[in-house]
Structure 1
Amino acid sequence: MSIFSSSRARRVYGTVAAVGASALILAGCSGGTTPSESSAPSADREDLTLSIGTVLPQTGALSYLGPPEEAGVGLATAEINEAAKGITVEVQYGDSGDPDNKAYETTVPKLLGSDVSALIGAASSGVTKLFLDQAVSAGVITFSPANTSPDFTTWDDDNLYWRTAPSDLLQGEVLGNLIAEDGNQALGIIYLNDAYGTGLEKVVNETFTASGGEVVASESYNAGDTNFSAQVSTILAANPDAIAVIGFEETSTIVPSFVNSGFDSSKFYFVDGNISQWGDDMPVSIEGSKGTQPGPVLADDFQERLKAQWLEQGDGNELVDFNYAAESYDATVLLALASLAANSTDPADIASKLQEVSGGSGDGEKCDSFADCADIILGGGTADYDGYSGGIGFDDAGDPTEASIGIFQYGADNTHTRVN
């Protein structure tokens, strides 16, 4: 089967930290890398065509993240191209899959062979780790809207890895504090044994323990597992007040195993990998359970534009999840702004400007849309873009220094709403 689905296998030319249980806002400042020459004046410019490839999950354990992420890329592309500021973005949509189906093994070489300047993806930290060195060797930017593993902060990436999602060090701290502040004293944890799961488990465990609670049991499982009875039995035997589930789509099997054994279905805590709008896909009620998700409150008009974009470019289904849509939109805008600032589509040139246009270095002028930021750059100034995912302000490692973590709670229909 082709890695490019029929509805997406096309180039798209757009037309038209002290932390509590409340949302976390982390702002930081950092020394910047020495920026390259200042933006070229308009008279010295030629129109640019920036080619981007996505490595986002159309299949696999995180496939529910694919639609909002691809919609974010598509909407940004449409609005950048409509602005007509001397740069046209072209996108090839590809499937990352997951470590089991390995769709990235076909997608990444195909995109690299198409001379893209940047890959947007993957969503899964574990998947990105499997192709990042290949992209770095090819001299191509990898820009993830959803990678949260702390390991990327110190990755040897030649300045070619960037992300708009905050490290799990932040989300894990918020979740651990949330569980404690809800009055729980004994916590059980079940987590996926990969870079994502182990990283989050460590921080949640440490934070909850530091708050005075006790992690009475912490059990791992492996990708592809379908039977969790051993882990469930061990955790329930420790008599926890609450259970943190750190994983992906297998959550809809794990949670019923606990509930059917008598555990209170309102006492689960989820993370960004499984804070899905479960609805009927969750066989038991999880009303009252909570979870965390990086990202600010999304403006209603932005959500409506995303929905309209997905109806145009997607699979015919309505967009219901918005996880990492803003981060994907902002990744696309930042790449275009950095290309415009560098007056180049060479990946190294773009990378040299990403920190600057994000506000992480220099003394740029604040702007909150591609068009406004582009006007600043074309006028010879320095743009400081704040997007739908918030202020970004990349540090020297390509990590955002500003982030917010939202708290969500499930209702009777097994869908969640933001409560903080």
Structure 2
Amino acid sequence: MKRILLAALLALPLLGGCTKKTNEIVIGEYDSLTGSDATFGLSTNKGVRLAFDEINAAGGIKGKKLALITLDDQGKNEEAASATTRLITQNNVTAIIGGVASGRSKAAAPIAQSHKVPFVSPASTNPDVTKIGDYVFRVCFIDPFQGFVMAKFANETLKMKKVAVLRDVKNDYSVGLADVFVAEFKKRGGEIVADLSYQAGDIDFKAQLTQIRSKNPEGIYVPGYYTEVGLIAQQARQLGLKVPLMGGDGWDSDKLSEIGKEAINGSYYSNHYTVESTDPAVTEFIKKFKTKYNETPDALAALGYDAARILAAALERAPEINGKAIRDELAKTKDFVGVTGKISLNENRDAVKSAVVVQVEGNNRKYITTVTP
């Protein structure tokens, strides 16, 4: 079974994720380094590695270096679960930075919970993820807030009264956003003129879009991943549907414009941060990321960076390097100044933070507005 390791595996047996000889604290990570949504995992991993490099350069945690072991989940739930088991039982990691997709976190997090290994997801937004147990955390906002943001934006800013929804029916993330958007848009007096579905991997959406066109919507909410959204945008324009598409953070990839080309321009999505921010924490992060990787960081990179730094801060505060002590300190996270905003974790171990709405302009993402909880 193919695995991609982005950090060297330690040669000696690990004790609680830390070895006296190497003087390291070993952190595990699984991410989609290959597969249909590989840009998510690759970006997240770059953010994590940047944070760990900075922490190690500054002396590490309690005099120990952070060592990262990253495994590829290949974009599959079962691989995320397998990677988590391996990281815990074979590599004896102290904590795990979980992947991006909610479905994969729902498969992996129960394993970490059962072993009492702290699990921090950078970007799994489905509400059920942290309900798995008290060792499961996230540094992103959750789907209900993201769905609320776009329903409010569609109604108040874009003045839409009639919207169609096209959701990935097999994707927990997509279904969660769509459900909340529909409920909130209706609450605001709007009408959902069509609520249709597709499945990840589909390439022909013309039947659904033709049906949507007959309903004359003012916009289409498509809370899926960039792989399908780009194709949906192209086929919508081919059918004469010129209304804006709207979506969530699953759109956030340069591949969106590569796939959707000009058809995706002018569309909107909710996201975790904007590169147009003048916040010193954001501008400094972007500068360091560009220096290291020669590219502009997307939101997944920023979330990976924040997840790594929040975990490191908990490690530094913990009286001992063990699962319970780290878990307790993670739960105390309050007003952490992150790249994706000021982050506090609530009683459900979910991040309370703002969201931004951006508009697609080729490879650029134009900042439109910020919505707070």
- The answer, yes or no, to whether TM exceeds 0.5 is yes
Match of 1:385 in 2: 336
**Once the two structures are superposed, what CA deviation does each residue of 1:287-335 show, in whole Å capped at 9, x if it has no partner?**
22111112364622211212233x3xxxxxx434411323222221222
Match of 1:327 in 2: 303
Match of 2:47 in 1: 72
Count of residue pairs brought into register by the alignment:
346
Instruction: Determine which of 382, 386, 396 is the counterpart of 2:347.
Output: 396
After TM superposition, give the deviation of residue 414 of structure 1 in Å. 5.2
Match of 1:163 in 2: 138
Change over 3 Å in CA distance of 1:108–1:154 after alignment to 2: closer
Instruction: Determine which of 186, 192, 211 is the counterpart of 2:168.
Output: 192
Q: Distance in 2 between matches of 1:287 and 1:339?
A: 43
Q: Which amino acid in 2 is paired with 1:10?
A: A
Match of 1:342 in 2: 318
Match of 1:175 in 2: 150
After TM superposition, give the deviation of residue 132 of structure 1 in Å. 1.6
Instruction: Determine which of 291, 299, 320 is the counterpart of 2:282.
Output: 299
**Structure richer in helix, relative to its length:** 2
Gaps of 5+ in 1: 13-46, 312-317, 360-383
1:405 matched to 2:355 = yes
Residue pair 2:99, 2:124 contacting (<8 A) in 1 also: yes
**Once the two structures are superposed, what CA deviation does each residue of 1:322-366 show, in whole Å capped at 9, x if it has no partner?**
11323222221222222222232212221011122x22xxxxxxx
Match of 1:368 in 2: none
CA RMSD of aligned residues (A): 2.3
Gaps of 5+ in 2: 11-21
Residue pair 1:76, 1:329 contacting (<8 A) in 2 also: yes
After TM superposition, give the deviation of residue 241 of structure 1 in Å. 1.1
More displaced 10-residue stretch of structure 1: 139-148 or 84-93:
84-93
Q: Which amino acid in 2 is paired with 1:322?
A: D
Match of 2:365 in 1: 416
Match of 2:18 in 1: none
Instruction: Determine which of 183, 205, 217 is the counterpart of 1:228.
Output: 205
Match of 1:272 in 2: 249
1:91 matched to 2:68 = yes
Change over 3 Å in CA distance of 1:57–1:320 after alignment to 2: farther
Instruction: Determine which of 108, 123, 138 is the counterpart of 1:131.
Output: 108
> Alignment partner of 1:285: what SS?
helix
Q: Distance in 2 between matches of 1:334 and 1:300?
A: 19
Q: Which amino acid in 1 is paired with 2:58?
A: A
Change over 3 Å in CA distance of 1:387–1:284 after alignment to 2: closer
Q: Distance in 2 between matches of 1:288 and 1:229?
A: 21
Change over 3 Å in CA distance of 1:319–1:337 after alignment to 2: same
Q: Distance in 2 between matches of 1:385 and 1:127?
A: 26
After TM superposition, give the deviation of residue 9 of structure 1 in Å. 4.5
Q: Distance in 2 between matches of 1:321 and 1:234?
A: 37
Q: Distance in 1 between matches of 2:304 and 2:270?
A: 18
1:289 matched to 2:267 = yes
How does the TM-score come out when normalised to structure 2?
0.86
How does the TM-score come out when normalised to structure 1?
0.77
> Alignment partner of 2:196: what SS?
strand
After TM superposition, give the deviation of residue 272 of structure 1 in Å. 0.5
**Once the two structures are superposed, what CA deviation does each residue of 1:116-163 show, in whole Å capped at 9, x if it has no partner?**
1111121000111112212222222211010111113433x1x21000
After TM superposition, give the deviation of residue 200 of structure 1 in Å. 0.3
Q: Distance in 2 between matches of 1:281 and 1:223?
A: 15
Q: Which amino acid in 2 is paired with 1:405?
A: A
